[in-house]
Amino acid sequence: MITREPVYTDEPDNALTGIWRSVVLGVGDIGRAGSLTVQALAGIPALFAAGRRRHEWARQMFLMGIKTLPVISVVGMFTGMILGLQVGLELRRFNQEIYIGSAVMVSLLREMGPFMTGLILAACVGSSMAAQIGTMTVNDEIAALEIMSISPVRFLMAPRMAAMVVMTPVLSFYTCVLGVIGGGIVGVTQLNVPLDQYISMAMDFARMRDLYVGLLKALVFGVVITGVSCYEGFTTTQGAVGVGQATRRSVITSFLLILVLGYIITRLFYDL
């Protein structure tokens, strides 16, 4: 059962009490969102046993993948071009601009590829999830599903979770490929780095672990975006105003978690 009733509390006596109350409520939100995320992940195997739900899963993958390709393409290309230009200008000071390929490739695989992909999906897809489910919540459609003994988490959240788990690593890799191409364009046209040397440096310095860590980050980001966005949608109150607030909270929370988790995963896999 999903709790949607607002919690009414008295005004805090002082600022310290208000901060403590915010921390307690935040921890509770994290626990409930985590519980919904685990339930959605556990419902993914049953998703493939039902033909109708497989159709919904494919539709969600289309919305998350194909529909976001134009934005992903532009961001990926220009991210690589910006990285190539900024790093190349600094390397030129030491006559080492030949290493621009390695800098762009490693930066994209480890961090910038999954990071930019996560931000785009949080803004484009996560906000849409929160708004759609939030509208269903305030219109009592979620309550109707529960009355019919249909789990809203498995019916609505599991297909979105399964689609995001598949599409975030794919889109992250696509972003990295376009970023490397963009960095190569800058290196060849503006820094006079031969294309074969750019490719050689990019391939020689990148390791498989960089790719695996980047794909793991993308996977984690996808799970987090879906969990946060669906939780905000399920807990929406106060009609249209609440839908807007839930959408805003889902994007902000997803952005912050992407930043924090990106650092934590990098720190776990790479020694100082």
Q: Which domain holds residue 131?
A: 52-269
Residue 137 within any structural domain of the chain: yes
Would residue 42 count as lying in a domain? no
Per-residue pLDDT, 25: 72
Whether residue 37 lies inside any domain: the answer is no
Q: Would residue 30 count as lying in a domain? A: no
Written as six digits, the tokens of 2 are 């999903």
User: What is residue 270's predicted lDDT score, i.e. its pLDDT?
Assistant: 82
237 has a pLDDT exceeding 80: yes
Is 100 among the domain residues?
A: yes
pLDDT tens readout for residues 54-93: 788 888 888 888 889 999 999 999 999 999 999 888 888 8
**Is residue 14 one of the residues assigned to a domain?**
no
Task: Supply the mean pLDDT for the chain.
Answer: 86
Best CA proximity match to 130, nearest among 225, 60, 47, 62: 225
Query: Which distant-in-sequence residues (6+ apart) come within 8 Å of 80 by Cβ?
Result: 104, 108, 178, 179, 180, 181, 182, 183, 184, 186
Q: Please write the tens of the pLDDT for every residue from 113-125.
A: 999 999 999 999 9
Q: Which residues contact 251 (CB under 8 A, 6 or more apart)?
A: 122, 123, 126, 127, 130
Instruction: Please state the domain count of the chain.
Output: 1
Range 221-237 burial, b when 16+ CB lie within 10 A, else e? bbbbbbbbbbbbbbbbb
Helix (H) or strand (E) holding 31: helix 15-42
Q: Answer yes or no: is 169 within a domain.
A: yes
CB 174, CB 215: distance < 8 Å: no
- Assigned domain for 10 exists: no
Q: Choose the weakest-confidence range: 12-26, 150-164, 186-200, 207-221.
A: 12-26
Alpha-carbon distance of 249 to 254, in angstroms, equals: 8
**pTM over cut 0.85:** yes
